[in-house]
A and B are shown apart, each in its own frame.
Chain A
Amino acid sequence: GAVVSQHPSRVICKSGTSVKIECRSLDFQATTMFWYRQFPKQSLMLMATSNEGSKATYEQGVEKDKFLINHASLTLSTLTVTSAHPEDSSFYICSAPGLAGALGGEQYFGPGTRLTVT
């Protein structure tokens, strides 16, 4: 089946620095990808929709200047957490639709990136 990868799997950074997380669709193209964060023992919260060739759209309450999203190609989306603070520590997960053009269809999820801000 379709595979989505994320890099890095774990990252520890100091408060005030920026961290970039990559999400790649390995064997298919994705014009749209999605970014989620998951707090311990909680569900995934949709943060934003990453669109290839255009600006990302953010869910209500998500700071677009803090969580910069760039969909550089049909197989790569990046999430940059700028000026990270301890409260940004979380598990960040990306996903991509499995079928090109299939609306509301299955998503393939990456393995997630554990961000710890000290």
Chain B
Amino acid sequence: AQSVSQHNHHVILSEAASLELGCNYSYGGTVNLFWYVQYPGQHLQLLLKYFSGDPLVKGIKGFEAEFIKSKFSFNLRKPSVQWSDTAEYFCAVANTGNQFYFGTGTSLTVIP
């Protein structure tokens, strides 16, 4: 069965600090990888996705993630966070059946 783990449960950063959120997954077959963000009171929004090709993917709002196949990792990064990045971040893995499995989420608080 698939599993997705996110190492950081709660991260607090000051504005302009750099961000890296860890994500590891376990699954033997072909998967697609995603990062979703959930702002307070809002529904999930796609930040970025990896299907194939360049393992470094760029998403919206300055976020990027790197797929390292040998480590089964898909870490999310942003060079300089803003207060508006305060949200819950979820890493997700999708199998070929379109079933999504989410990590436990990381709550990011950015202090102005």
Contacts and interface: CB of A to CB of B under 8 A. Distances in A.
Interface string A8-44: 0000000000000000000000001010100001111
Interface string B30-70: 11101010000011101001010000000000000000000
A34 B102 contact: no
> Which of A32, A43, A104 has the most B CB atoms < 10 Å from its CB?
A104
Contact of B102 (A32, A44, A97, A103): A44
Question: How many B residues are at the interface, by size bracket?
Answer: 20 to 34
Contact of B43 (A42, A49, A110): A110
A44 B90 contact: yes
Interface in B75-112: 90, 94-105, 107
B98 A103 contact: yes
Nearest to A32: B98
Interface of A: 32, 34, 36, 41-46, 49, 93, 95, 97, 103-107, 109-112
Contacts of B105: 41-43
Contacts of A95: 100
Contact of A49 (B32, B34, B99): B99
A93 to B, nearest CB: 7
A104 B102 contact: no
A104 B98 contact: yes
Contacts of A103: 96-98
A109 B43 contact: yes
A93 B44 contact: yes
B98 A97 contact: yes
Contacts of A106: 34, 46, 49
B30 A43 contact: no
B65 to A, nearest CB: 15
A48 B98 CA distance: 12
A49 to B, nearest CB: 6
A28 B54 CA distance: 30
Most buried by B among A103, A107, A110: A107
